[in-house]
Structure 1
Amino acid sequence: MSTHVIKPGWFTVNVFNRFVAWLTRRGISVWGSRVLAVRGRKSGQWRTTPVNPLTVDGQQYLVAPRGHVQWTHNMRAAGGGQLRLGKRVENFTAVEVADDDKPPLLRAYLKRWKAEVGVFFKGVGPGSSDAELRRIAPDHPVFRITITD
């Protein structure tokens, strides 16, 4: 497994993510944003971060543009979590997608959010070949999520 991680800078952590999470908690979605809540693998406490769920062929996915970050480790341990928008809470289960199955999902994700996250994908974009997308696939966890309620 890749250990690829791009840690967010001060501005992202303290301004951008907090602002998007603040809006999302109040029911205002920014380009489909939700607050992801996952129980910590060690503490058991809820951990939250803003995310952009991706829908492809009616199925929802969570893509980790910054790589193997804390929420991805927690998701593997918990097997699911919650997506929150305002007072609406959707519980879900999650299954990690195999690297060979990621190229069309990464392409769709980059097509939608490249302006926001493209810098984390090593020059690969929505127009890149399947081989290029497959090359970066191990660096970007993807989870298929199923809403349970």
Structure 2
Amino acid sequence: MAERITPPWWLKPANKVFIQMSRLGMSFGGESPVVLTVSGRKSGRERSTPVTPMTVDGKQYVVAGFPGADWVANARAAGLATVARGRHTQQVRMVELPAPEARPILRVFPKQVSTGVGFMKRAGLVTEGSPDEFEGLAGRCTVFRLDPA
């Protein structure tokens, strides 16, 4: 069975608030989280979660903050997703990167998504948040490339 880290108790309610505010068109500035929506792998119902995409060499990527996250399993099963920034939506193909391709993306994660560093420290995935530590998460934390669908 794949590794699974339990998210903090407050994450699900906080995500719901963020999703509703985003759907109302509110902007959050900074690293600009978006709402990623995929079909549930069992129910088929739409499931949404906030993610913070980053751009590397002109391509967009998202990193799963918790090994075993449900949204990752749903994205793998669905292959397609909708990314919403406020009221603007875009269909994307979720392309999971193998560990060797994920390493350089994870290496730049702490610089591009600084809010994710504290999140992953609290989860116990990294201690310092250095590029080397993040690169070492390849194979543990899933990285998806978001290709236009």
Compute the TM-score of the two structures, normalised by the length of structure 2: 0.84
CA shift digits 1:81-119 (9 cap, x unpaired): 101122211100111101012222112222222134333
Matched, 1:97 2:100: no
The 10-residue stretch of structure 1 (37-46 or 21-30) with the greater mean CA deviation from structure 2: 21-30
Query: What is the CA-CA distance between 1:22 and the residue it aligns to?
Result: 2.6
CA RMSD of aligned residues (A): 1.9
3-state SS in 2 of match to 1:145: strand
Quick check: which one's helix share is greater? Answer: 1
Matched, 1:118 2:121: yes
Aligned mates of 2:120, 2:52 — CA distance in 1: 11
1:41–1:77 CA contact under 8 A, matched in 2: yes
AA in 2 matched with 1:49 = T
Query: What is the CA-CA distance between 1:78 and the residue it aligns to?
Result: 0.7
Give 5+ residue unaligned stretches, structure 2: none
3-state SS in 2 of match to 1:18: helix
* Alpha-carbon spacing, 1:126–1:73, altered in 2? closer, same or farther (3 Å): same
Give 5+ residue unaligned stretches, structure 1: none
Aligned mates of 2:122, 2:47 — CA distance in 1: 25
Compute the TM-score of the two structures, normalised by the length of structure 1: 0.84
AA in 1 matched with 2:126 = K
What is the aligned residue count?
Answer: 143
Aligned mates of 1:104, 1:126 — CA distance in 2: 13
